[in-house]
Chains A and B, each alone.
Chain A
Amino acid sequence: MSEQILKMVNITKRFAGIVALDQVHFSCNRGEVHVLAGENGAGKSTILKILSGIYKADEGEIYFNDKKATIKNPEQAQKLGIAMVFQELTLIGELTVSENIYLSIEPKNKLGLIDQKAVNKQIQTAMDKYGIYLEPDEIVNNLPIAKQQLAEILKILVRDPDLIILDEPTSALARKEVDQLFQIIRNLTANGKTIIFISHRLEEVFAIGDRVTVFKDGRFVDTCNICDINEDDLIRMMVGRSLQNIFPHKNRKIDNEIIFEVRLLLDHDKKVNDVSFNVHRGEILCVAGLQGHGQSELLNAISGLHPLKSGEVIISGKKISVKNSGQAIENGIALVPADRKSQGLMLELAIQHNLSISSLGKRLKGLFIDSKAESIFCSSIVEQLAIKIGKVTNPANSLSGGNQQKVVLGKELATNPKVILFDEPTRGIDVEAKREFYNIMDSLASQGVAVIMNSSDLMEVIGMADRVAVMYEGRISGILQKEEISEEAIMRYAMGITEKYFEAGETA
């Protein structure tokens, strides 16, 4: 048994009352590659951000090298020898590669000025040592994303930390670069460095990991040696909650008639890559996948917010154009966006104003807004969606999350959409509000509106969907029909495990 370098005990973290981490434990041994696994929202990134000083834990203790450590900010984490390669890169686009890599640790001459010759020499040595070759004087913004990722990794490596956290470092890398990174990781661990690694690609977990810790819903599940388990075991640890009975029964009548279809949608940077699917009358289609595989971009693309390079959008057999959101709304496409606070509502304005904004043109009296028609309209929406409010003139931020979300929905319904897209509709709202939302979706689908929901909550997807389109790296990696829909099946597609592999796993 090797020596323990890190021990995190009873870590709890809440965000605005919602528990993100609940009394979790996590520990690492010197010289190992420790994989942290779990679904979206399991708390992986949260605990690592606590470790690297971005967040502060509400409760719990951290021991580093057997000494109790307080980590209040990233600076303290770095002093301890903990460094993190973030999912969202920390490079400064306007500066050069070498300026970024040596930011704040530049070698200096006697006058305290940066010794550019020494920087050039050191960066060459570092590049040779790790086999990462970049043009040191290139401006970072001019680099493709994979090179930026490598630059970010090199930036951490030259700081020579003892514990290196890699949060999905391979998401933008090609096969060859991943192999190279793995070689670097093996060299590092051979030299006594410790790596914490998050990846959503299972094959990578098994290729590089020594041990794995699984989190689920902000709780610690287990830590085990990778050599003792197989992929099925790991997936089983990551999933498997009891299904809460808050979903409407799926007894909608589904026609064969296709009321909405997209064909070969492709955007400029392949976040959405040749996506095709259709929705039948009466059906709810869910889009699932791990975070950042193009689901939100897909919904935004359909509603005119994310520019497309090619592809067709067809409503009731008629091809339409969605170059901007105005066009999309005109053609009957509505989006309930993921972030209601920044994309859905004008928080400081009256509820009435929020509800009426997207359909103002329908209630005009000459040039002016017909205020009588508007208040009738608002009370009808409030009643229809059972929004719990004081007065319609109160600001939107006086409402609870669930009611705010209903206001967003009401605003969209007022345009009489034929297609309604829900992007993470129940994030941060309570169970009762969730149940009401599911019922609304159900009745919309029965009324013949095409309902498409993207959700990272797998239980919600399973509870609501008639069909599930799972996305992986911008493509639809699989479409699951009614009885095929299960957490495990979705996770497999979401991790890009191929059809062939999937079948082999099923029969095993």
Chain B
Amino acid sequence: MNVTVKKRKNYFVQRNLRTIIIYVFLFVMMLVVSIFNDKFFTLGNFKNLLRTVFPLIMVSFGQTLIILTGGIDLSLGGIVALTNVVCVVLMKPDSPTGFILPVIVTLVIGLLAGVLNGLVITRGRLAPIIVTLATDAIFSGAALYMMPNPGGSVHRAFGKFLTRGIGGASPLILFLTIFIVVRCLTNRTSFGRTLRAIGGNEGAVYSTGIKVDRVKFLTYAIAGVLCAVAGIFLSAQMNSADAAIGKNYAMNSITTTVVGGTAMSGAIGDPLGTVAGAFIIAIINNMLNLFGVSSFYQFVFQGLILVAALSLNALNKKG
């Protein structure tokens, strides 16, 4: 048989076509923006941009993992708000080590919130969209209960380090570290393969003798932790907490995930694309600000982008 001697075909482009297209789009957009804004391609602007999108990227990583399993999580914003508030409430601004315990506790709270979602969805055999709609109310409600009005303050040294430390590179380092971990998880581990496979055909994965529920449960738990990272970063960035901060994160994370090339039906997608998706959304908002467009229109615009991205995905599937 000549098949054996045939060299293995290179599938790199076929497999990564979506991500490649998104990055081409992102760079074209950056070039266009730089025409209007001569300060666009400066280090300062990029530092700024990364700081702005960092929390959204964290949440979107979680959303991407969940959407890859064919699920969805509307409670991620609630978890961001809850962890944001918990982090600030526990912080003691002036004690030298007052940030260590609050950070750990906050991460654990995020984990527990994700665990709750995962448990109810897998044990109760309930639809993720309904479960997380309900838990979102619980998480946001708890955040509001703890802190009805925005306020508080963060451990000063910690806040400064997280947002501007190591010559302003600490958000970048943190981002790269988490990105590498998440992408290895989805693309290089057995867990990631299973996660995608569940999004492709859950019944088939079960028949293959895989613990489907455990994988789904872990996915929601991981998303909870990622949201806690976003919550902590926001505390440092704002030097305070706001129980209402989470309200747009669910929709925004879905938008960035879909714009980033992940299919809503699951299985197909890449966290690398999600990163581009987040930057695309941030740059568009940045532009609209620059042109003095009202922030209300920005919502309309974002909705339109989501519809466009979904339609493109649908067309892609048909073709």
Contact = CB atoms under 8 A, between A and B. Distances in A.
B188 A91 contact: no
In the complex, which of the residues B14, B193, B206 has the most CB atoms of chain A within 10 Å of its own CB atom? Answer: B193
Interface string B280-300: 000000000000000000000
B209 A77 contact: yes
B205 A92 contact: yes
Contacts of A348: none
Given A113-B184, A113-B188, A137-B9, A106 B193 contact: yes
B208 interface: yes
* A contact patch SS: loop
Interface residues of B, number: 30
B3 interface: yes
B197 A89 contact: no
A108 B190 contact: yes
Contacts of A89: 204
A135 B9 contact: yes
Interface in A108-156: 108, 112-114, 120, 127-128, 133, 135-139, 155
A164 to B, nearest CB: 14
A133 B268 contact: no
B205 A103 contact: yes
A499 interface: no
Interface string A199-221: 00000000000000000000000
A78 interface: yes
Nearest to A52: B207
Contacts of B190: 104, 106, 108, 114
B194 A112 contact: no
B188 to A, nearest CB: 4
A24 B15 CA distance: 49
A84 B206 CA distance: 12
A74 B209 contact: yes
B201 A74 contact: no
Contact of B197 (A78, A95, A114): A95
Contacts of B209: 53, 73-75, 77-79, 83, 104
Interface in B199-248: 199-201, 203-211
In the complex, which of the residues A96, A103, A135 has the most CB atoms of chain B within 10 Å of its own CB atom? Answer: A103
B315 interface: no
A79 to B, nearest CB: 8
B9 A86 contact: no
Contact of B189 (A78, A86, A112): A112
Nearest to B68: A94
Given A54-B207, A74-B207, A137-B9, A94 B200 contact: yes
A93 interface: yes
B210 A86 contact: no
B52 to A, nearest CB: 32
Contacts of A92: 196-197, 200-201, 204-205, 267
A73 B14 CA distance: 36
A74 B193 contact: no
Contact of B193 (A78, A79, A103, A135): A103
A138 B197 CA distance: 15
A75 B14 CA distance: 33
A90 B197 CA distance: 10
B316 interface: no
Interface residues of A, number: 39
Contacts of A94: 196, 199-200, 267-268
Nearest to B215: A104
Interface string B165-204: 0000000000000000000100011100110110111011
A112 B197 CA distance: 19
* B contact patch SS: helix
Interface in B1-38: 1, 3-4, 8-9, 11, 14-15
Given A95-B193, A103-B194, A90 B201 contact: yes
Contact of B11 (A77, A113, A133, A138): A138
Nearest to B267: A94
Nearest to B184: A113
Nearest to B14: A139
Interface in A50-99: 52-54, 73-75, 77-79, 83-84, 86, 89-96, 99
B187 to A, nearest CB: 9
A393 to B, nearest CB: 29
Given A90-B201, A136-B8, A95 B196 contact: yes
A75 B210 CA distance: 6
B206 to A, nearest CB: 6
Nearest to A83: B209
Contact of B4 (A78, A90, A128, A138): A128
Contacts of A135: 8-9
A473 B268 CA distance: 34
B201 A104 contact: no
Contacts of A95: 193, 196-197, 200, 267
A90 B208 contact: yes
B200 to A, nearest CB: 3
Contacts of A54: 207
**Nearest 7 CB-CB pairings of A with B:** A92-B200, A90-B204, A78-B209, A94-B267, A137-B11, A75-B209, A113-B188
20 contacts: A54-B207, A75-B210, A78-B208, A78-B209, A84-B207, A86-B207, A89-B204, A90-B205, A90-B207, A91-B204, A92-B200, A92-B205, A92-B267, A95-B193, A103-B208, A112-B189, A113-B188, A135-B9, A137-B8, A138-B9
Interface of B: 1, 3-4, 8-9, 11, 14-15, 184, 188-190, 193-194, 196-197, 199-201, 203-211, 267-268
Given A86-B207, A133-B1, A138-B9, 13 more contacts: A54-B207, A73-B209, A74-B206, A74-B209, A83-B209, A90-B203, A90-B204, A92-B205, A104-B210, A113-B184, A133-B4, A139-B14, A155-B208
